[in-house]
Amino acid sequence: MTARPKTDDAAPISVIPYLDYETARSLLINQWGDDALVFGGKAHTASEMTLKAAFSADGKLGGVAYYRMNGMVALLGAIVVTDGGRGMGTALFNAVADEARAHKMKRLRAITTNDNFEAMAFFQKRGMRFMSMFPGGVDAYRAFKPGLRELGFHGISCRDVFELELDL
């Protein structure tokens, strides 16, 4: 997704809890061909996650964050926006981090895959650091979910899972 030139008069974004799991699932499937979110080699579906949605001032859905609190760690399974470069991803990331802090979580953990340079940049620019890599993490899940796309972003095979963390 291409970021637009930044404007000073950015429209306000509302981030609220979201219960429309069908739409949330569709966003994941449109993006990746499946609603699997892989953590530490284990797959979770959208229905197992808590959701937040970002809306633009005109009420249009701008994106969804999929996350869950797990012990002392908040797991950010994915953020998917409908139109990039408008601040939706950042608003969702900040809202999940704020909620995790309010729940006294120690760390926010995000996942991405080897083909997703944009997400690697996005998360690092928001303070996250790489903590783990699971070679073949996506391949392992593909055995059970053949609908998962072979080719990821930039025409790169989507195979490995990277985890990043932010101290809260």
Ligand X SMILES: CC(C)(COP(=O)(O)OP(=O)(O)OC[C@H]1O[C@@H](n2cnc3c(N)ncnc32)[C@H](O)[C@@H]1OP(=O)(O)O)[C@@H](O)C(=O)NCCC(=O)NCCS
Residues that bind ligand X (CB under 6 A): 1, 3-4, 6-7, 10, 31, 78-81, 84-90, 112, 116, 118-119, 122, 125
- Judged on CB neighbours under 10 Å (0-12, 13-18, 19+), 44 is middle
Beta strand segments in the chain, E: 14-17, 37-39, 42-44, 50-55, 61-70, 73-81, 107-113, 129-134, 161-167
Comparison of 62 and 104: residue with beta carbon closer to ligand X:
62
**Shortest reach from residue 50's CB to ligand X, in Å:** 15
**Shortest reach from residue 104's CB to ligand X, in Å:** 24
**Shortest reach from residue 159's CB to ligand X, in Å:** 15
Kind and range of the H or E element at 128? Answer: none
- Kindly state the tokens that stand for 2: 């291409």
Comparison of 96 and 104: residue with beta carbon closer to ligand X:
96
Q: Within a 10 A sphere around the Cβ of 129, how many other Cβ atoms?
A: 10
Chain residue whose CB lies nearest ligand X: 89
Comparison of 104 and 119: residue with beta carbon closer to ligand X:
119
Comparison of 82 and 104: residue with beta carbon closer to ligand X:
82
* C-alpha closest to that of 63 among 3, 97, 18: 18
**Shortest reach from residue 22's CB to ligand X, in Å:** 19
